[in-house]
Structure 1
């Protein structure tokens, strides 16, 4: 966890009650930089705060969007605790009136590269804050032990990714074995539609094992929410035998139908694709679900023909018969 070089010591001010109120400052890693968050979009860091990490608060009079934070605390370069810059109106579930509170956010960071991180949010979901994992309090000062709840179990797949703006290529990592191939595929939409059934609709993660290239020939769908079909693999975790890979869309700009990130849950010939971040109970065989666990999102891809595999540091392509590579015995075998 040595990459977070920049977060400096606290600036602490004693208040009348002799309680210490601390605000931390960002150093060279984060200060005056912009990062892509696969869930929240662009995050802008100043010396002591962040803008862009937005959530909504349900009030008696409507909904308020909050997106400004100040740095409060950090420990061992792995936890970052933030507090909303100002109070906002919040109605607890047990009350009929609103009160003024702060929201506190805990980011449990893990370094992926010098320009990217995975983070989890160890806190229970707050239904009146759009299901976000946040802690609300009327107190202006809470600390890491108050905000980061070590007893909360967050699903492994519910991870988030930060990629430094301008350093996207340096954040690329090797894609998982389950994606290191060249294949044709069929697209299945969550509305029951299917497409890309002809030859030449191709997914290539073999030519460059850190990049995914999608070429469409018979369909017009924006596969993995990209117009150009060029991606970097930037993070991956494994859970229950499935790989969950976050890819960065290299499109120059994002439209209303595309997304800067996508999550691919994969095993063998099955892939499910969610916009932005992986979802809590996503599998390769079913459509991802939104936070309400009932609304389908994204789409599915099913491999129909395989043309190559990456093995022994070689991309083997243009084989004369359809093959399946068995990683357990390191041999090619004919597919059924």
Structure 2
């Protein structure tokens, strides 16, 4: 059951109550107009109050003032009742009466004060010197809308049971009896053909309208929408339930639950039943608050312990890593987290530089056998750098044009590299052995084509291993042709 906020204007009763009648599990039938209530009877010796006017509505508290006074202590007294309301459905409410019991008003929970006294502090009306029991709730079901007030019965009751029943005249029923909460989860049906003893003060069936779980006990209110004579059959029945395995112990009282009603003790004027399932659709054990809370707390503790262990291990690991990284007095730690020994220093890029090394302007480490040129290139001691920035190894030389010349090469007059099998003519052409043959063949073809030529040029090669010999024309003239 969830609390609701009830609103009114001036002092009118909440709109849900106005101009309607409600069955009350203790008071009978209560009727409301916009600002008046009737049917709630408070008796004080020879005087009584049966009609009430709305005094104030504050959140879920409804305060009513008796339209008549009671005579007590030698004078007239005003009577107030304070109802703390909770909605169940649009057609049903539960409430607790929030005042101490008044011994001079038949132990009713009312607030009595000298007639005419202005009550400016409603807290004085809506207070109790001790907490009310969970079972002390009242239920209201709207007349004409009874079916709309149906609720699922507690899951421990969802089954088909046989039962024994003690109504104060002896134990009856047993094997073969039938208490059915399986066919319809909102309704309890009793098979009076199997056992004729009247159950729950009903002619055939009851349906669940409200329940409160408290520790190992469930307090359940059921509604009889059949015959009501207030002798054998009553509108409401309170059931107090506990379980042992799948069996249930149930005490029953007509109307409202007794204060302190136990599921294993027959209440005065009530009955006691023990139910054993034929078939069972609900929980195999009491679905009670204690068990649920214990399970939740156990799960939370397990999760919490797991988190604590993970945190402890994490910080332990961090501490271990820090201990491993801990520097000695003669050491220090650079900004990148690297340990720097006394003979070392750390360059601006975070690299550690040993004593025999130094760091060049480009942040490269230069070893002792190296030096760094202005261009940032590292040059070993056996090397030198030519004017073009190229590194020259010991067996190489660099020509004036910046080209590297190997030992087996030489540089021609024009700065071109000449390989061992080549030589350079005066016009700076490379001449190879096969070139002389090509030139000789060319000249021979020309002589054959022009026999009257004034000059013939013949190139002969006496020995391919000897430099070529020229006849008549020079090699320069021949090349020019």
Shorter-chain TM-score range: 0.7 to 0.9
Match of 1:64 among 25, 47, 51: 47
2-structure distance, mates of 1:171, 1:121 = 21
**Residues 1:45 and 2:32 aligned together:** yes
**Residues 1:111 and 2:87 aligned together:** yes
TM-score in terms of structure 1 length:
0.78
How do residues 260-279 of structure 1 correspond to structure 2 at under 5 angstroms? Answer: 260-268=235-243, 269-279=248-258
Match of 1:156 among 126, 134, 149: 134
Alignment deviations for residues 94-149 of structure 1 (CA, whole Å, 9 cap, x no partner): xxxx3211111000111111111111112111112111111111144435212101
- Equivalent residue number for residue 75 of structure 1: 58
Which one has the largest radius of gyration?
2
Alignment deviations for residues 21-45 of structure 1 (CA, whole Å, 9 cap, x no partner): xxx1135311110001001010010
- Equivalent residue number for residue 87 of structure 1: 69
1-structure distance, mates of 2:256, 2:230 = 18
**Residues 1:217 and 2:189 aligned together:** no
- Equivalent residue number for residue 307 of structure 1: 278
- 8 Å contact 1:110–1:118 — kept in the other structure? yes
CA RMSD of aligned residues (A): 2.2
How do residues 142-181 of structure 1 correspond to structure 2 at under 5 angstroms? Answer: 142=119, 143-149=121-127, 151-181=129-159
Bigger RCO of structures 1 and 2 (CA < 8 A, at least 6 apart): 1
Shift of 1:46: 1.2
SS of the residue aligned with 2:174?
A: coil
5+ residue gaps, structure 2: 288-481
SS of the residue aligned with 1:223?
A: coil
How do residues 123-202 of structure 1 correspond to structure 2 at under 5 angstroms? Answer: 123-140=99-116, 141-142=118-119, 143-149=121-127, 151-191=129-169, 193-199=170-176, 201-202=177-178
Shift of 1:74: 1.2
- Equivalent residue number for residue 42 of structure 2: 55
Structure 1 residues 280, 89: closer, same or farther in 2, change over 3 A?
A: same
- The structure with the greater share of residues assigned to helix is 2
Shift of 1:257: 1.9
Shift of 1:309: 1.7
**Residues 1:325 and 2:302 aligned together:** no
5+ residue gaps, structure 1: 11-23, 92-97, 289-295, 312-323, 329-336
SS of the residue aligned with 2:136?
A: coil
2-structure distance, mates of 1:90, 1:257 = 37
- 8 Å contact 2:228–2:234 — kept in the other structure? no
- 8 Å contact 2:211–2:220 — kept in the other structure? yes
Match of 2:183 among 207, 212, 220: 207
- Equivalent residue number for residue 281 of structure 1: 260
SS of the residue aligned with 1:169?
A: helix
Shift of 1:47: 1.6
TM-score in terms of structure 2 length:
0.55
- 8 Å contact 2:252–2:271 — kept in the other structure? yes
2-structure distance, mates of 1:188, 1:171 = 29
- 8 Å contact 2:212–2:218 — kept in the other structure? yes
1-structure distance, mates of 2:221, 2:16 = 22
- 8 Å contact 1:196–1:216 — kept in the other structure? no
2-structure distance, mates of 1:241, 1:33 = 37
Match of 1:226 among 192, 198, 202: 202
Structure 1 residues 218, 128: closer, same or farther in 2, change over 3 A?
A: farther
2-structure distance, mates of 1:307, 1:183 = 5
SS of the residue aligned with 1:272?
A: strand
- Equivalent residue number for residue 33 of structure 1: 20
1-structure distance, mates of 2:286, 2:219 = 19
- Equivalent residue number for residue 17 of structure 1: none
Shift of 1:327: 7.3
1-structure distance, mates of 2:62, 2:285 = 42
**Residues 1:120 and 2:71 aligned together:** no
Shift of 1:178: 2.1
